Amino acid sequence: MTTHTPGVDPTRLDSYLVVALEKLAMRPRTLIALDFDGCLAPLVDDPTTSRPLPEASAALEEIAIDDDVELALVSGRPAGDLIHLASPPRSTWIIASHGAEFGHVDSGGEFVQQEFALSPTQEETLTRLTHHVEDLANNHAQVWVEHKPAAVVLHTRLAPEQVGHQARQAVVDLVEGWDGVYPMEGNQVVELAVVEATKGQALTALRNKLQHNHDDPLAVLYAGDDVTDETALATLESTDIGIKVGDAPTVAQFWVTDPPAMAAALQLYVNQRRKRLAH
């Protein structure tokens, strides 16, 4: 694991990353898979106001029109919220709820989702979880609950540090030994899912799907800022590019300081790709 030092000019890209992006632009087939919050969009206190940076959106639009490049958004958010906030280009793959929801935006701009439904047992478990987590949140100041199709999430970003720590620990203790519950700890959140899914599993499944019946190998770029993104970064091969946004410990070989720097990396890739296609 590596730890990176904050305070670097956010638009300045490491020279090794620049070279890697230039080489990636020369590959015949590529998958660009990106986390949303903290990667394309700056982190905000109110998640309903989160939006991608204009520079990032512009790069995604250009990536999406390249027939040899696949674009995917990978997020813990529910699919509906992710699409509403990110406004992804047509033909974008959508991996939401950490992989529990999967689909793509078709040529008409509509989201086509792989069939998703909870079993009666999972529904009952989710109902019980939700009741317990809401009770717990009511006992901690400035802590709130998010509801997802297959999970309930405790958010503590707005709470005092000690209160947030106590609330998150209480949630982890609550489900210890609870069969059929899969806790995931992220950046000031604890998510309790009733479906076992990770971004890493979802990215591997998408990669295999896109590689099927193709002779040219698929190169992958994955970028994310959260602990949950590490499962995806860990699946990358030596010829892929993994980018950590921020200075947290990571298995990624490259890093950028924040979403503006990530937007600069995407713009660099787009510019190099444009040059390749021009020749």
- pLDDT confidence bin for 46, thresholds 50/70/90: confident
Of the chain, the percentage scoring pLDDT greater than 70 comes to 96
Domain with CATH 3.40.50.1000 in the chain: 15-116+197-278
Q: In the beta sheet, which residues pair with residue 2?
A: 250
Say whether pLDDT at 8 is over 60: no
At 148-200, the pLDDT tens digits run 999 999 999 999 999 999 999 999 999 999 999 999 998 889 999 999 999 99
Q: What is the mean pLDDT of residues 235-252?
A: 96
How many other CB atoms are there within 10 angstroms of residue 271's CB atom? Answer: 15
Residue 207, SS3 per DSSP: helix
Please name the residues in contact with 236: beta carbons below 8 A apart, sequence gap of 6 or more.
Answer: 220, 222, 242
Sign of the Cα pseudo-torsion (244, 247, 253, 258, in order): positive
- The per-residue pLDDT of the chain, averaged, comes to 92
Confidence category of residue 1, pLDDT binned at 50, 70, 90: very low
Which helix (H) or strand (E) element contains residue 192? strand 189-193
Alpha helices in the chain (DSSP H): 15-24, 54-64, 79-86, 120-138, 161-174, 199-211, 230-233, 259-278
The radius of gyration of the chain from alpha carbons, rounded to an integer in Å, stands at 19
Q: Are 73 and 63 in contact (CB under 8 A)?
A: no
Say what angle helices 120-138 and 161-174 make with each other, to 10 degrees: 150
Residue 255 has pLDDT above 70, yes or no: yes
Segment 52-84, tens digit of pLDDT: 999 999 999 999 999 999 999 999 999 999 999
CB 238 within 8 A of CB 17: no
pLDDT in tens, 81-102: 999 999 999 999 999 999 999 9
- Domain boundaries 120-193, corresponding CATH code: 3.30.70.1020
In the chain, residues under CATH classification 3.30.70.1020 are: 120-193
Residue 205 carries which DSSP code?
Answer: H
Percent of the chain residues topping a pLDDT of 90? 84
Give the whole-angstrom CA distance, residue 85 versus residue 36. Answer: 9
C-alpha 121/C-alpha 132 separation (Å) is: 17
By CB atoms closer than 10 A (0-12, 13-18, 19+), residue 210 is: middle
Q: Taking 80 as the threshold, does the pLDDT of residue 264 lie above it?
A: yes
The secondary structure of 61-111 as a DSSP string is HHHHT-TTEEEEEE-SS-HHHHHHHH-PPTT-EEEEGGGTEEEEE-TTS-E
pTM comes to 0.89
pLDDT for res 278: 83
* Res. 5 pLDDT band, cuts 50 70 90: very low
Fold of 15-116+197-278: Rossmann fold (3.40.50)
Q: Lowest mean pLDDT of 108-112, 132-136, 142-146, 239-243, name the range.
A: 108-112
Q: Tell me the per-residue pLDDT of 13-25, one tens digit each, with 9 for 90 and over.
A: 999 999 999 999 9
200-209 pLDDT, tens digit per residue, is: 999 999 999 9
Q: Please give the pLDDT value at position 17.
A: 96
